[in-house]
Structure 1
C-alpha cells in the first residue's frame, strides 16, 4: 500500500467516487499578489497584477495560460521561492517569509543532481529535516517503491530514461509528505506514452487514502491535461497577468476524453484562451504596443493557418485542429491571436472562421496580398502602426531600431522587447511598409506606407462622420 504507515488525514478522507471529499479547508492562499521586476531602461516590468488564488484541501488546481502569462512565476510565489512585490502568500493562515514548509515542487527539467544516485537524489528532499539517517533512508525507499523505481536505487540519472528521471523528481517531492504538491509542467518534456502513464499513476496515488498530499497545483499549457487532472482550472491572462477565469471541472474519475462533458469543458477553456484581448482594437480605441503586444506568429505561420482553414471549408473547431496537427495550445493559439488581431479570423467559442478579409487575402495574388496585409498591419497591429507613424514624423523617414527597442523596454523584458520588434519588422517588411538594414539597424519608410496612411486616415474620417 502506498505510504501505508501514514494514517489517513481526518480532514480529507478518501477521495474515491464513493466517498465524500473535503475541499473547504484553505491550505495555501495568494491574496492580491503582484510581482514586478526592474526594467532595463528604468521603471518596472510587471509580471503579475493583483492575483488571488486559494488552494483547498482535497482538490487539484491547474494553472493554464499562454506562454509568458506568469503561471510558473505564480507557482514559485506559492512555493515561497520568490516574494511578491505586494500582497501576501499564506500557508495554513501564516504569511510565508521564505520557502513554504508544507510544499514540494516537481520541475519540468527534472532538476536532478547528476553526481548523486537515485536514492541520494530522493533523500535530498529530507536533508533539512530532523529525521535520522536511517529514517531518511527508509522514507526514500518508500517513495522510490511508490513511484515504480524499485531496483534502481543505485543508478545515476544518466543511466535513466527521461520518464524514469521524472519519476525520481516525483519521488523527491513525495518523500517530504507535503501538504501541497506544486508541479511546473512535469509531463511536457516526456514522450506522449510516458506522460500518459505518469499522469495515470499520479491519479492512482491521489485517490489512495494513504497518500499524504492534500492538494496539488499543476502548471500546464495543455488544455486536455488540465481537464484530465484538475478539479478546477484557473486561467491567467493579460499583461500583467491576472486571473481571467476559474472553471470547475465536474467530471468523475477516471475521466474519459471521449465524453461530451469532457469535450465541452475543453471547448470552454479554448474559448477563454482565444476570446480575450488579442482581438483587433477598434478604430480610435486606446491601444498601443505595450497594451496590445504582437502575438508570436510569422507571416508564413499566418498564411499556413488560413490555408489549413480553407482546406476545412473556411472554419474549424480549434481543439480538433490542435489534435489533428499534434499541436499543443501554445503552438496554435498565438497564430490564432495574430489572425484575429489582423481581422483574418473570427473566433466564437472554440470555433474559428475565416472572415471576408481573410478570404480576400488568401485569394489575392502576391502583390495584392502584400498590399492588403500592409493595410491590416498598419491599422490593427499597434507596434507596426507606431513604427510607421514614427517614421513619417522623422526628418528623413528613417530611424534606428534602438529607438523602438528603448520604448518597448518600458513594458517588456529585454528579450521580449527584442521579440516584439523582430515580429513587427517581419510583418512590416512583408507588407513593404518599410525597409530594414540589419547591419546599420535603420528602418526606412516606403512609398507604400504613405499611401496606406492616407487611405486609413480617409477611412477613419468616414467612420467618424458615420458615427
Structure 2
C-alpha cells in the first residue's frame, strides 16, 4: 500500500435498474486514487455518473464490481473518515444551525458538552460565529452552505467530498466560499487530508484542484487526467490559468472514442442520443459567435461569461452546433463553419431549410422518423413506437427528452409535423403525396 493513499478505486462498475426493470450501466471500469495533500476535481457531462461515484466512495451505495478501499480497507458501508457536502445544503429546517452541525457528532455518540464545543469552534472557523441559534430559513444560500460545510468538518474527516457544493449559489457567493475553503486548506486549519470536488464548472476546477479527472458518459469511465502544478491562490486572468481552462474546455468538448462509435456493433443506438438544448438557444449562441467581439471564433470560457450561462447549460449547445455542422470545436474555441456563417446571414425561411437539411444528414433519429413517415400510407406515425425504441437503451425520462428534442428540431426544420393532442407525427403538408 502507498502510505499516503486515501481512496483507491480499481475497475469499479455500477448499474441501476430503470422503471422498466432493465439494467442501465452508469459506471464502468473506473480507476481512481485520492492521495493525502491533494484536491482533485471530477468533471463530466450529464450521464457520466459523477455523483454516483462520490456516493460509492462515501460508502452510501455499493459498487457492483471492482475494489473500493479507504486507507487500504474495503468499503462496505458509510466511512467514519469521509464526510460529504451536498449541492442542496440538506439541512433540517426544524433544527437550529448548532443542532444541524452537531448531528454527525451525535450519531457518533459524542457527549453533549464536547459536541457543543466542537460545533462552536467550527462555526467560528467557517464564519458563522453567533449564528448557532438561527434556523435555516433565516439564512442566505451562502450561509446555508457554510452550515453544510461546518457539519462535514466538525467530524474531523480525512476526506471531504463536495458534490456540486457551490453550484446552487450566485457567482460571487460561490467564489467567496470557494476561496474561504482554500484558505482553510492552505493554512491547515482543518484536519482534512484530501478533498474531492464534483463540479460542472471548469473555472472552479482549475482554480481549486491539483488534478482534474474528466469522465466520459454512458457509461462513466475515466477519459483523461490533467495535473495542475500552478501554486494557489490562482488568478483567473493569468495566462497560465486561461491556457489551462482552454485545455479543459477542449477535452470536455472532444468526443471520446466510445461516444463517437455510433456505427460500431452494439453501439449504433448512441447515434440516437441528442444534446439537451433547444433551437432558440442554438441560434442565440450561434449569433453570439458570429457577432463582435468574437466574429466567428469564440474562446469558450469568454463565451460562457458573455452568455451568463453555466458550462453545463452551454455544453449541449456547443455539441448541437458541432453535430449539425454549423461550428467546429478546437482546443477550447468554437469556430463557425462556412455553413454556420451562411446560416447566420440567411433569412428565416432559408435558415429553417438549412436546419432541416443538416438534421436529416447528421441526426439519425430525425432521418429515422422521416423515413418511417414516408413509407406509411397516410404519412402519419404515432410517437409511441419511437419511445419504445428509445427505451431499449435509454431510461424512460431520457427517452422522452430525446424524442421531445427531435420533435422540436424536426418541426423547426420542417422535416415533419407533430400534433400534441394526438401524439402523432406526420409529413409536412407540401411533402405529402
Length-normalised TM-score, structure 2: 0.93
Which residue is equivalent to 1:176? 155
Which residue is equivalent to 1:166? 145
Q: Residue 168 of structure 2 is aligned with which of 176, 189, 192?
A: 189
Superposed, 1:435-454 pairs within 5 Å as: 435-446=417-428
SS at match of 2:421: coil
Q: Where does the alignment leave 5 or more consecutive residues of structure 1 unmatched? A: 1-22, 452-467
Return the offset for 1:211.
Answer: 2.0
Q: Is the 8 A contact 2:103 2:151 kept in 1?
A: yes
* Corresponding position: 1:95 with 2:74: yes
Q: Is the 8 A contact 1:24 1:56 kept in 2?
A: no
Distance 2:65 2:339 in 1: 45
* Corresponding position: 1:342 with 2:342: no
Distance 2:55 2:230 in 1: 29
Which residue is equivalent to 1:43? 22
Superposed, 1:215-364 pairs within 5 Å as: 215-277=194-256, 288-291=268-271, 293-311=273-291, 312-364=294-346
Which residue is equivalent to 1:152? 131
Deviations 1:169-200 (A, max 9, x none): 11100011001000111111122222122111
Q: Is the 8 A contact 1:63 1:217 kept in 2?
A: yes
Count of aligned positions: 429
Return the offset for 1:24.
Answer: 6.5
Which residue is equivalent to 2:91? 112
Return the offset for 1:448.
Answer: 6.8
Q: Is the 8 A contact 1:32 1:52 kept in 2?
A: yes
* Corresponding position: 1:68 with 2:38: no
Return the offset for 1:40.
Answer: 3.3
Moved more, 393-402 or 331-340: 393-402
Q: Where does the alignment leave 5 or more consecutive residues of structure 2 unmatched? A: none
Distance 1:261 1:201 in 2: 23
Return the offset for 1:350.
Answer: 1.0
Return the offset for 1:440.
Answer: 1.0
Deviations 1:397-428 (A, max 9, x none): 32211111112122222221111000000011
Rate the CA distance shift 1:66–1:283 in 2: closer, same or farther, 3 A. closer
Length-normalised TM-score, structure 1: 0.87
Return the offset for 1:314.
Answer: 1.3
Q: Residue 10 of structure 2 is aligned with which of 27, 31, 44?
A: 31
Rate the CA distance shift 1:176–1:284 in 2: closer, same or farther, 3 A. closer
Q: Is the 8 A contact 1:297 1:423 kept in 2?
A: yes
* Corresponding position: 1:58 with 2:37: yes
Q: Is the 8 A contact 2:44 2:217 kept in 1?
A: no
* Corresponding position: 1:205 with 2:181: no
Rate the CA distance shift 1:256–1:432 in 2: closer, same or farther, 3 A. same
Return the offset for 1:43.
Answer: 2.6
Distance 2:274 2:140 in 1: 38
Structure 1 residue runs of 4 or more that deviate by more than 6 Å after TM superposition? 278-287, 447-451
Q: Is the 8 A contact 1:239 1:291 kept in 2?
A: no
SS at match of 1:290: helix
Distance 2:10 2:430 in 1: 51
* Corresponding position: 1:133 with 2:120: no
Return the offset for 1:31.
Answer: 1.7
Q: Is the 8 A contact 2:136 2:144 kept in 1?
A: yes
Rate the CA distance shift 1:260–1:322 in 2: closer, same or farther, 3 A. same
